[in-house]
Amino acid sequence: MSRVHTAQAVISTQFPKQARWLRLLLLVNMMLLFVGLVSPIITLEKFYIVENTFSVLTGVIQLVEDRLWFLVIIVTGFSVLLPFLKLQLLYQFVSLRPGNHSTLDRYLHWVHIYGKWSMLDVFVVAILVVSVKLGAIANVQMRYGLYAFAAAVLLTMVITAVVVHLANAVNSPENKK
């Protein structure tokens, strides 16, 4: 295991200013993610007659109605549940005081691994597939929910990188003296 897995409990003590900023950014990020999930992400216009607008959550509801359970699990897990879980865990990492937090050390490890499976990748590929497949028969317009969701994903990636950097700095040889 790398140094990152043992340092998260003292980020708020050794870097209080950065920890405050990170907590604020995490709250903003949660709001962006919520807006991205409930707001329209695409509008499909078919033959200039029928127009449908979807959000991530209405898409999940449609998948449930169509009984596409595997897709429900994948979309709900990677685009709804895991992002909120990751934000909650990151908030805990930057808020904790020194002590024994071995369980959270393990979670930081999983957050770091999960970061490689960014929700943006899955989501953007899905949007592109829909756009390409429907391009010939429907006009696809991107909506503000897509931009809010993408901003939340990118901000999560930046915050995660900063938390990992700070955790590594806590365990650096200069801080051990």
Domain 3-172, CATH number (from 1.10.8, 1.20.140, 2.60.120, 2.40.128): 1.20.140
- For 139, residues 6+ apart whose C-beta sits below 8 A from its C-beta are 44, 45, 46, 48
CA distance 4 to 169: 9
CA-closest candidate to residue 18, choices 173, 164, 172, 176: 164
Every domain of the chain and the residues it spans:
3-172
CA distance 65 to 55: 15
Q: Kind and range of the H or E element at 113? A: helix 102-115
- For the segment 19-54, what is each residue's pLDDT rounded down to a tens digit? 999 999 999 999 999 999 999 988 878 777 777 888
- For the segment 100-129, what is each residue's pLDDT rounded down to a tens digit? 556 666 667 777 677 666 555 566 556 655
- For the segment 146-173, what is each residue's pLDDT rounded down to a tens digit? 889 889 988 988 998 898 888 777 766 6
CA-closest candidate to residue 95, choices 18, 23, 14, 17: 23
